[in-house]
Structures are given as C-alpha cells and as structure tokens.
Amino acid sequence: MTKLNPHQTIALSVNLNKIALIRNSREGNNPDIVGYAKKCIAAGADGLTVHPRPDQRHIRPEDCYQLQALVNEYKARQPTLEFNIEGNPFAGFCAKSRSDFSDYPGFIDILAQCKADQATLVPDSDTQLTSDHGFDLSGDNTELINIIKTIHDIGSRVSLFMDPDIDQISKAKEIGADRIELYTGPYADAYLANNRSDITSKHFEAHRKAA
C-alpha cells in the first residue's frame, strides 16, 4: 500500500501477510511477525499492513493486537508511523479453524480493539485466494455507508479497494471514504503477458488517470 501525504511524498507500508503464511505452515512462532515488523521499521518503512481473514490463513487477530501495540510503542519517536488493517468489512464471527488458533471475532471487532490508523476495506469473499477486484458501488451502498461511519467513530481512516474506474472512485468519495487503494492486477497481468505493449500502456494510463 502506498499513500500520499500533504507534501506529496510516497510512503511505504509493508504487508506482513506472507511472513505469517510461512509461520502458520509449521508449529511455533517462526518466523516471528513482531520481529519482522521491527526489522521493517528499522529499515525505514512508514507503516505496517495486515489482512486478517476469517480462515486465518496468514494474519491472526492476535497478530493485529500485537502489531498495534508495537506501532503505538514506536510512535513515541516516529509519530508518522502507521498501522493499516485490510479486510472484508462484512466478515463476521468465525470459529477457529485450528486448535492452536483463537476465534475470528469479525473484522469490525478487530478494528475496534486495535483502533488502527487506517482500515482498508476489500470486497473479497472467504473463498478467494487473494483480493482480485474493487468495490462495485453502483447499487445500494447503505450498509457500506453505515460501516464507514462506524469505523470513523472507532477513530480509523477508511480506504476502499477500487478498480481504476473514475465514476466508481467518485462514488467512493460520496459515501465517505477518505482514500482509495487501486487494484493493479490487470496491469500486472498485461505486463507479464505483453511486456511494454500498447495493451500494457492502456492499463497503465487507466491507473494513472484514476490516481
């Protein structure tokens, strides 16, 4: 995730999901999420990002709580450091999928306990391997509007995961989102298949205009 501050400089938030994925493939706490988070901060990262899913395939709720505590500790000397929690805002309670896991309390409950700097809302289902599309805001957005208000009341900024569609992005602002994150999958696929072709350039231009 990248974001622009008022001075228009790029800030890097490092996603720790894959570190957690490796850890969850074995017993114990190796690699240690908090340890790697400290390495990222020491290397100059401006923030940390996680995406807790109900199946807890990588980041678990307790990881979020520990990482938020770490960010709060570092903010005393690095006040611009941020914690970003991504997830499906409609994901509710889910019983633990392994005996060594705790229950998944629901995405909003995790946010309420952490009070992260930013909540990035993503419209992915529990069965998706990874996020592969942005929000479709063409219908009734009442439920999403209410969720955004709830998250604002918690004290977190809201970013919506969006495709590079100008009309949809305008609606994101209208329903209360503070920021957006652009889904760049089609551009990446075009680049891998066609390298620097006209097709790739077309996708790049769409993302540039959306930004």
Q: Is the dihedral of CA 180, 175, 152, 34 positive or negative?
A: negative
Contact 154, 198 (CB under 8 A): no
Question: For residue 85, what pLDDT band results from cuts at 50, 70 and 90?
Answer: very high
User: What's the confidence (pLDDT) of residue 129?
Assistant: 59
pLDDT single digits (tens) 25-76: 988 899 999 999 999 999 999 999 999 999 998 999 999 999 999 999 999 9
pLDDT at 134 over 70: yes
- How far, in Å, are 39, 59, 95, 101, 174 from residue 22 at the CA level? 17, 10, 22, 15, 39
Cα–Cα distance between 134 and 159 in angstroms, integer?
11
Q: ∠ at Cα 92 (91, 95), nearest 5°?
A: 115
pLDDT at 80 over 80: yes
- In degrees and rounded to multiples of 5, residue 190 shows phi and psi of -65, -40
pLDDT at 137 over 90: yes
pLDDT at 3 over 70: no
pLDDT at 2 over 70: no
